[in-house]
A and B are shown apart, each in its own frame.
Chain A
Amino acid sequence: MAVQPQTNQAVTTGTEYIVRCKDVVKEYMMGTQVVRALNGVTLDIVRGEYLSIMGPSGSGKSTLFNMIGGLDKPTSGSVFINDVDMAQLDAQELAFLRCRTIGYIFQTFNLIPVMTALENVMLPMIFGGLSTDEAIDRGIELLKLVGLGERLHHKPSELSGGQQQRVAIARALANNPQIILADEPTGNLDLRTGKEIIELLRQLNKEQGVTIISATHDLKMVDVSDRIVWIRDGRIDRVEERAAVEVRVGDVEGTPG
């Protein structure tokens, strides 16, 4: 494994980082103009933490979501998941990573409209090789966990936004991922429903130990986050830790921004 030489070895061995971003730069071409959506982001994310990426619209949150989720490649710099450089993965391995290691939650819920709630939750399990019966059992269990045990056979169009997001959370959990990556999960929800979804994510983080990385500009997220990374114009502005006794992430971010 090619560990970056700049990395402080004492830190890497002391704590377990599930995601590490190293000088990530992402540029998009807009016609002839180059838009630099990420401008050198270095960020280590600890296994099991609840991390919020906060910043105004257009600051690069979704772009960072794409980089960490293996949905797009950085222009330069690298992203490691479980110490594996994602640039080294071929298409098949990336698909496997998306299926098994990461669960995605989107602002617009993104349920497959032609499938029922249960079928949506089952799909990643089917991809992963579970039999239909196993997938049904686990799908029902997960939908019960998110409070939708009564809506198994509803189509997304028959569910409210909050219910759709719950299905999406159940689907994200389908293959027991290590990471849940959420992009503005409360962006299309009203205040109360948004709060419920945040509570649910926090509960899953605590009970299942899944690392949650959430891009958001919803300040309700601040209360539940272990750490908040503020980004601005594609750079890390500052990293805040919840005042609590989070010693384990003590000296990780020496020089934010």
Chain B
Amino acid sequence: MRKDGRQVERLQLPFRVAFHISMQSVRIRFWRSVITAAGTVLGIAFLVSVLTAMMIQRNSGAVTDPSERYRMTWLVIMSLLVCLVGITNAMLMSVTERYKEIGTMKCLGAYDIFIVELFFIESALVGFIASVIGWFLGVFAVVLIKLFSEGFKVFGWISPGEVLLYLIYSIVIGTLLSVIATIIPAQVAARMPAAAALRVEV
């Protein structure tokens, strides 16, 4: 209800519909999604490879240098930040590519928040898939390298429970990373004027 008493009916975008649109968007714009996912895949793969390497070293009985651990933590954090910027950049490009589509949705009645919602769901989906891939690559790479340097005894140094725990870390951190990286692009998209639907050139 407005201050002058006029009733305004709320428009809506049910989550189910938003999810479907975002899912289709990831699928159909496959290569664009791959570029966005690349940042998360790399960041998570690095994180998991460091974790896995530390686990193998610990289980092998070798002593870990605490300063090394500190250095690696910094490296992981820095790499995740770099990936964040990469994802933001890829998402911003995706927004500029879709100016007409966003403008059109606004012509059909979409509120700014609908557009934000669509971009967040999309980046969460991409982030989720990318995290799983990144986790797999991270574990795989380290195990392969150790296999060459240490031989088959590596398998004795792997704790499956811990590796699975890394998957959960990966999904949480990777999805969050992807969504956080999309805050600015989603804002840019939401501010796209409805009149953008008519624009012929970018």
Contacts and interface: CB of A to CB of B under 8 A. Distances in A.
B197 A71 contact: yes
A127 B9 CA distance: 11
Interface in B1-54: 2, 6, 8-14, 17, 21, 24-25, 27-29
A3 to B, nearest CB: 16
B89 interface: no
Contacts of A95: 11, 106, 109-111
A69 B10 CA distance: 19
Interface in A122-142: 123-124, 126-129, 132
Given A113-B28, A129-B11, A71 B109 contact: no
Interface in B166-202: 193-195, 197-198, 200
Interface stretch (B68-76, B80-88, B97-105, B143-151): B97-105
Interface string A203-225: 00000000000000000000000
A171 B195 CA distance: 18
B200 A99 contact: no
Nearest to A66: B195
A82 interface: no
A127 B109 contact: yes
Nearest to B10: A92
A65 B198 CA distance: 10
A98 B194 contact: yes
A62 B104 CA distance: 15
A55 B43 CA distance: 55
Contact of B13 (A90, A108, A126): A126
Interface string A8-47: 0000000000000000000000000000000000000000
Interface string A149-187: 000000100000000000000010000000000010000
Nearest to A122: B17
Given A108-B200, A110-B104, A113-B101, A96 B9 contact: yes
State which size class the interface on A falls in. 35 or more
Given A99-B11, A126-B13, A114 B109 contact: no
A174 to B, nearest CB: 8
A231 to B, nearest CB: 16
A246 interface: no
A114 B198 contact: no
B108 A124 contact: yes
A95 B111 CA distance: 7
A92 B12 contact: no
B25 to A, nearest CB: 5
A99 B108 contact: yes
A98 B109 contact: yes
Interface string A87-113: 000111101101110001011101111
B117 interface: no
B103 to A, nearest CB: 8
Q: For the complex of A and B, list the 5 residue pairs with the smallest distance between their C-beta atoms, beginning with the closest.
A: A99-B109, A71-B195, A114-B24, A127-B109, A110-B104
